[in-house]
């Protein structure tokens, strides 16, 4: 997928030309590869890791197989904060976006935790609180876009989810946050395994459910805040990937989370390449492609669960 991402685009390159453009500064493809496709590819890898891990943690935390980072409104919180910064403050750089994205994601995380019951929060309460906040925040984002036509053009690529404007600066700013969130998520694999057995069983195994939930939400906030600030709110990656991985590894998060971090970037880059091919001479943004792929997957999974219960 990395090779395809470097080779496929408005200017088609062979694999040999893509390699030459990557390694040889004198190559005619050097500018295309290094200034446009390499940052885009690396951002796709980084955002894929973030969204895949966030989805795996969210499904374990809520014990809901249909959960993704959008379920608790975290993506919507980051999106609402960034859209507000664009519209009301004129912010136009990733450096400006990322601070607002984390404030929005963290605020919604705390609000969901409080509304969901605080220390007495249950997976069902968290899911209901997050769904309600997510709907309200998405409505707010749409309203801002409709009322502020001057900023609409600046926001439209970001709000659908796109890798097209990737820059080296974006990568450098995002890496520390994704790395911290990824390490925290992977470290929580054992406590989340225990939490899946229920709070009482988790305590008997030496886990602390309240602390595990708080740290899990912190990990998801770091991962989703960085990915959303860099690419916009990209949906369904965090839903689809854990299910694909679970069929290979089983439910053990010590295996599931690392494989999510491996497979999600493959899906992200595949969707991005597919968007470039289908949208020629322009392109379809990656967020649109993942939504088109994820919708039928979601319906299929819901139907399969109903059949299994019957």
Q: Tens digits of per-residue pLDDT, 13-33?
A: 878 888 877 877 777 787 888
Q: Name the band, by pLDDT with cuts 50, 70 and 90, for residue 44.
A: very high
Of 217, 226, 292, nearest to 67 (Cα)?
A: 217
More confident residue, 50 or 61: 50
Q: For 45-54, 123-132, 255-264, 281-290, which range has the lowest pLDDT when averaged over its residues?
A: 123-132
CATH of the domain at 18: 1.10.3470.10
User: To the nearest whole percent, how much of the chain has pLDDT over 70?
Assistant: 89
Q: Name the band, by pLDDT with cuts 50, 70 and 90, for residue 69.
A: confident
Give the C-alpha separation, 270 to 179, whole Å: 23
In angstroms and rounded to an integer, the radius of gyration of the C-alpha atoms of the chain is 19
Per-residue confidence (pLDDT) for residue 151, from 0 to 100:
66
Residue 14 CB coordination number (10 Å): 10
Q: Is 99 exposed, middle or buried (0-12, 13-18, 19+ CB in 10 A)?
A: middle
The pTM for the full model equals: 0.87
Q: Is 54 within 8 Å of 224 (Cβ atoms)? A: yes
Query: What is the domain range of residue 54?
Result: 2-309
Question: Coil, strand or helix: which one is 2?
Answer: helix
Domain count, the chain: 1
């Amino acid at each position: 997928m990395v090779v395809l991402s470097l080779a496929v685009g408005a200017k088609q390159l062979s694999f040999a030309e893509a390699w030459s453009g990557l390694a040889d500064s004198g190559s005619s493809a050097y500018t295309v590869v290094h200034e446009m496709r390499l940052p885009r590819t690396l951002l796709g890898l980084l955002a894929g890791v973030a969204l895949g891990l966030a989805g795996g943690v969210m499904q374990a935390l809520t014990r809901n197989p249909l959960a993704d980072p959008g379920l608790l409104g975290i993506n919507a919180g980051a999106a609402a904060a960034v859209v507000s910064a664009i519209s009301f403050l004129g912010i136009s750089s990733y450096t400006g976006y990322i601070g607002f994205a984390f404030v929005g994601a963290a605020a919604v995380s705390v609000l969901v935790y409080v509304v969901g019951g605080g220390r007495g929060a249950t997976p069902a309460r968290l899911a209901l609180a997050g769904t309600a906040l997510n709907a309200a925040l998405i409505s707010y984002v749409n309203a801002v876009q409709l009322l502020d036509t001057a900023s609409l053009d600046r926001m439209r690529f970001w709000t659908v989810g796109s890798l097209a404007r990737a820059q080296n600066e974006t990568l450098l700013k995002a890496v520390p946050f994704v790395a911290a969130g990824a390490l925290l998520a992977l470290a929580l694999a054992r406590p989340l395994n225990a939490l899946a057995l229920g709070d009482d069983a988790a305590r008997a195994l030496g886990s602390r459910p309240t602390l595990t939930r708080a740290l899990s939400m912190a990990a998801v906030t770091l991962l989703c805040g960085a990915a959303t600030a860099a690419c916009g709110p990209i949906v369904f990656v965090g839903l689809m990937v854990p299910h694909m991985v679970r069929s290979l590894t089983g439910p053990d998060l010590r295996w599931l989370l690392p494989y999510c971090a491996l497979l999600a970037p493959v899906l992200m880059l595949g969707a991005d390449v597919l968007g470039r091919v289908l949208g020629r001479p322009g392109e379809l943004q990656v967020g649109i492609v993942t939504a088109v792929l994820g919708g039928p997957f979601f319906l299929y999974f819901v139907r399969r669960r109903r059949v299994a219960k019957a």
